[in-house]
Amino acid sequence: MNQPVQILKFEGKNIRQPPSGAHSEAPKEPEPYLVSSRLKTAVNLAITLRRPLLLEGDPGCGKTCLAKAVAFELGLPFFRWNVQSTSKVQDGQYVYDALGRLHDVQLQKVERTSRRDPSNPEEYCEMGALGKAFEIKDCTSVVLIDEIDKAELDFPNDLLTVLDKPWGFEVKETGKWVEARLNHVPIVFITSNKEKGNLPDAFLRRCLYHYVEFPGSEKALRDIIDRHYQSEQVEAPGDDLQSAAIARFISLRNEGGLIKKPGTSEFLDWLKALQTYMGKPYSADKLIGSDQKENKLPYLEVLLKVQQDWRKFKPADEPV
């Protein structure tokens, strides 16, 4: 490769504006995200080695947001592909509307007008997330393949052939070859919850692996709160309420004996509810004082999602 390769490096910066020269398809809204140094390394390795980064971890701990945060910081176009149980790898490449074309041919005989020109097969081909990413020639793009474990058994293996050299595929209907430039190979993030058991070995071998853990320390949670409220540009809850909420939440996770532990996203929602729901902030003293003693929890519908967990706590009295 003689062309100068653009060196991308993800820093996990706390920025609110997209960088100058950001691609037009880059996310416009900032994605507040606190990155551990290990995760930073994993992202940069994925960029350097051109391998997909597989993210596993507890639900609600920020697997999905990472890709967008990376795209935002680097100003790269972002494409998201939500995998469903019926998804095929080809859906991520392109979808061909053969029926629409047939329809338009018949329509032309009668009305001589149609939205698309059926004599041009390319007009009926719509690119999927990977197809779009491959077609962007002037920079790298970020692709998020969300919840890969939902798909059929063979899906990860099929995907493997697409996410490797020659980084291209053929649109069968038009004979067109879609290929990514070698120095602009997309950065691919894949998330999984292990819903249907393990992913195949060959697929794992090709991926980089990172387990996203719940940020268990008080400081980490505080940093996350800061970053979120900064980026939303809303006034953060008072210090005492923050400390009380963090203390209560950590003890809930560690000692509550919960079946399904709430994650970071639930925590942020809960804090928001504590701050704003009743029009005035919830009393911090009550939260870690009388409520904790009586095993009451305000707004538990935000935190607890399993019936058995509900039985362990009583809802707190609404502040009057």
Judged by CB under 8 A, does residue 293 bind another protein? no
Residue 58 in the binding site for another protein (CB under 8 A) = no
Smaller CB separation from another protein, 84 or 198:
198
Subset of residues 148 to 177 that bind another protein, contact rule: CB under 8 A? 153
Distance CA 107, CA 174 (A): 21
> Do the beta carbons of residue 111 and residue 45 sit within 8 Å?
no
Is residue 198 close enough to count as binding another protein by CB under 8 A?
Answer: yes
Region near another protein per CB under 8 A, out of 15-23, 99-107, 229-237, 257-265? 99-107
Tell me how many helices (H) and strands (E) the chain has. Answer: 14, 11
Contact 29, 215 (CB under 8 A): no
1 lines the binding site for another protein (CB under 8 A):
no
Angle made by CA atoms 71, 73, 74, in degrees to the nearest 5 = 65
42 lines the binding site for another protein (CB under 8 A): yes
Q: Is 204 in the site for another protein (CB under 8 A)?
A: yes
- Which structure tokens are listed for 230? 């900064």
The two structure tokens encoding residue 254: 């560690």
Give the pair of three-digit tokens for residue 30: 């900032």
Smallest gap from Cβ 102 to another protein, in A, equals 6
H/E run at residue 48: helix 37-49
Q: Residue 38 interacts with another protein (CB under 8 A)?
A: yes
Q: Which lies closer to another protein via its Cβ, residue 110 or residue 320?
A: 110
Nearest distance in Å: CB 54, another protein: 8
Residue 11's φ and ψ, nearest 5 degrees, are: -110, -15
63 touches another protein (CB under 8 A): no
Give yes or no for a contact between 130 and 123, defined as CB atoms under 8 angstroms apart: no
Least Å distance, CB 48 to another protein, is: 5
Q: With left for phi above 0 and alpha for psi between -120 and 50, is residue 57 left, alpha or beta?
A: left
Smallest gap from Cβ 85 to another protein, in A, equals 12
List contacts with another protein (CB under 8 A): 38, 41-42, 44-45, 48-49, 51, 54, 56, 98-99, 102, 105-106, 109, 153, 196-198, 200-202, 204-211
